[in-house]
Amino acid sequence: MVQAFILNNSGTSDEARDIFQETMIVLYEKATSEGFELNCQLKTYIYSVCRRLWLKRLQQLQRYSSLVENVEDSVPVDEDIEKHEKHNSDFLLMETAMSKIGEPCKSLLDAYYIQKKNMQEIAGEFGYTNADNAKTQKYKCLLRLKKLFFAQYKNGQ
């Protein structure tokens, strides 16, 4: 259904796969948010998000035409799409801030928040004398990351 819509509206199979994957991320974000209540069939929601994402993609690529039809099964998902795009934008800002933070802060924060290592493991890996010193360093790195992130965030607003 999604692929047929995209193929019938100037898209390719690869673009249909990308849009479907992005739709699954929107659905996941929505489903894990508080108070989520699906008021339509799941396929209708998925189709509506795909349709909206594809129309936005066409506008960005300046390939938008009035050929897009068959909207009978769509539901309003603009708010969900906007939240998803905001989330992606914030994620990119965080990624940029992480790239600017430098070493060993980047590796230290990655070890704690991504790899879920405890402070004792981090102390041993990074050569700190004990877990308290590693924790202090992690705190300083986190403050530095927040400063970089919010500086970019304010500039982007």
Burial class (CB in 10 A: 0-12, 13-18, 19+), 114: exposed
The predicted pLDDT at position 153 comes to: 80
The predicted pLDDT at position 64 comes to: 56
pLDDT by residue, tens only, the chain of 157 residues: 878 888 888 888 999 999 999 999 988 888 888 888 888 888 888 888 898 888 888 887 776 555 555 554 556 677 777 877 887 888 888 888 888 888 889 999 989 988 999 999 999 999 999 999 999 999 999 999 999 888 888 876 5
Residue 65: C-alpha distances to residues 30, 57, 61, 105 (Å): 29, 12, 11, 48
Helix/strand/coil for 59: helix
Is-contact 19 37, C-beta < 8 A?
Answer: no
Q: Whole-prediction pTM value?
A: 0.52
